[in-house]
Amino acid sequence: MSDERSPRLALPLLQPGQAQKENDHNEALALLDIATQASVLAVAVNAPPADPVPGDCWIVGPSPVGAWAEHAAALAAWTSGGWRFLTPQPGMTVWSVPDSLPVRYEAGGWRSGDIRGARLMIEGKQVIGPQAAAIPDPTGGVVIDAQARDALNTILATLREHGIIEV
């Protein structure tokens, strides 16, 4: 197999005059099959499963053993040719099938369920945008105002809890 690899996914590159180019080509296709629209059966698993099925994929945990040793944080996929490992790149996102959540590789580790964005749009309307400045709690007023203050404080606490407004 070729020693030259692509810079991002480390896919084997074909060389001029190379014999058995199909080996490198097939290896590159197997790795692309893992990376493209990736989904995993579990996140942070340290030991390979006993009976994998071709096409099944996992995110290797921080202390891998057995056939997964030395592949911490990699995507491990079972293929007809055995285990294939793909080293994640910053920003790579896979789908965790059992959790129904995205899992994103950043800062050297996998983060489950975090979705980042500048705003949330639903049917063309912005529902949530950048976090607004803090709204001060209501104060003062007469006795009847106490119930309104309690209601506003509950609303503000909920908005803060959801991160929609600052504390």
One DSSP character per residue, 3-69 reads S-B-TTT-PBPP-TT-TTHHHHHHHHHHHHHHHTT-EES-SSB-S--SS--TT-EEEB-SS--GGGT
* Structure confidence at residue 1 (pLDDT): 54
Does residue 2 have a pLDDT over 60?
no
Does residue 120 have a pLDDT over 90?
no
Question: In 10 A of CB 40, how many CB atoms?
Answer: 23
Q: What is the mean pLDDT of the chain?
A: 85
Work out whether strand 109-112 and strand 120-122 pair parallel, antiparallel, or are unpaired: unpaired
CA–CA separation, 70 and 99 (whole Å): 26
CA end-to-end span of the chain: 57
* Structure confidence at residue 142 (pLDDT): 67
* pLDDT tens figures, 121-146: 888 887 787 877 777 777 776 666 77
* pLDDT tens figures, 57-74: 999 999 999 999 999 999
β-strand partners of 39 = 95
Which residue would you say has higher pLDDT here, 99 or 148? 99
**CA nearest 92: which of 47, 149, 36?**
36
